[in-house]
Amino acid sequence: MSTGPLTYLVTGGAGFVGSHLVEALLAQDCRVLVVDDLSTGRMENLASAVGHPHFTFALASVTDERMMDMVTAKVDVVIHLAAVVGVGLVIEHPVRVIETNVAGTRAVLKAAVRHRPRVLIASSSEVYGKGVRMPAEEEDELLLGPTSRSRWCYAASKMVDEFLALAYQQEYGLEVVPFRLFNTVGPRQSGRYGMVIPRFMQQALKGEPITVYGDGTQTRCFCDVQDVVRALIGLSTHPDAAGRVYNVGGTEEVSMNELAERVRMVAGSDSPIVRLPYADVYPHGYEDIQRRVPDTRRLRSLLGWEPRLSLDATLPRVRDYLQSVLTEL
């Protein structure tokens, strides 16, 4: 890999994580190509990149094998973020989830075999399923629910993505780096597809009830998108990163009840906090996970990476962003 500024392809680069990654790469004088079909991404997210001499955008689906082959020929690194994500879309459009996620990753890998960039594949903490143990380590056993419940199709699609990526490394010598994201949060994240912090914050800012699903005792760890981007850039260049899966996430565990209280305080809101049974929100049989906590020792050992921004530092950034766009939501 070149020692100078690299050329990156970022699929899904108009999305939440992707747009922050694009900005960080351009700030490091890298060249960046983005492929995005704008099904969930927004060109507004790339406002600071459009017009930059090192930035190119292609409006296309990641499943377009011809387009992927053409753009991959020009790059040193592919960071594949394009996917159908969010509880809402997973529940309502399982066919789209499975077909887009698996076919998109296959198209990326097929193109990469021809042109030989390093490929980072975005996976998810959802692959841990019901959580055999917590904190979750990359080599832990994985346990999903039955195929009769579409709630698990996203996790299964991401597991296939990981298997496929590692198979391409084994059979073809392609450098692949699958990474599992745990509840990334920050400005530009939308609450439209079930992401909890922007949903809570938007409700608080509008003075609407903050709706906590279930009893609110379930816990998650949130990681600021800026910290996630640092990890991805580190994984994209480290000579020893390829061939292993990495957890990328925060380690500050918070319950949904506590999160709702902290959001209300940051928003300066009087919104009531209301708990809704899952049956009132999701189809029959929906299962939630009580705890989801990453073990990030593998990433820390490789890169010396640690989250720098606490949840208390991130929430005001989410508030300020949502206040600036609230009239559009």
| Residues forming the active site | 154
Q: Which parts of 238-327 fold into alpha helices (H)?
A: 256-267, 297-303, 311-325
Residue 7 CA, distance from chain mean position = 21
Per the structure block, which two tokens stand in for 1?
Answer: 């890999």
Smallest CA-to-CA distance from 80 within 113, 120, 21 is with 120
Residue 281, both tokens:
């929100």
Determine the Cα–Cα distance for residues 18 and 22; give it in Å rounded to an integer: 6
From 70, 85, 315, select the one nearest 205 (Cα to Cα).
315
What Å distances lie between residue 321 and 24, 38, 229, CA to CA? 18, 20, 18
> Do residues 39 and 108 lie in contact, with contact meaning Cβ atoms separated by under 8 Å?
no
CA torsion through residues 169, 172, 174, 180, sign: negative
The DSSP symbol for 294 reads B
Cα 58 to Cα 14, 43, 72, 236, 259: the distances in Å are 10, 11, 12, 22, 38
Structural contact between residues 227 and 182, judged by C-beta atoms closer than 8 angstroms? no
Chain-centroid distance of CA 184 in Å reads 6
* Helix (H/G/I), strand (E/B), else coil: 48: coil
CB 58 within 8 A of CB 32: no
> Please, which residues have CB within 8 angstroms of residue 16's CB and are 6 or more apart in sequence?
45, 184, 186, 188, 189, 190, 225
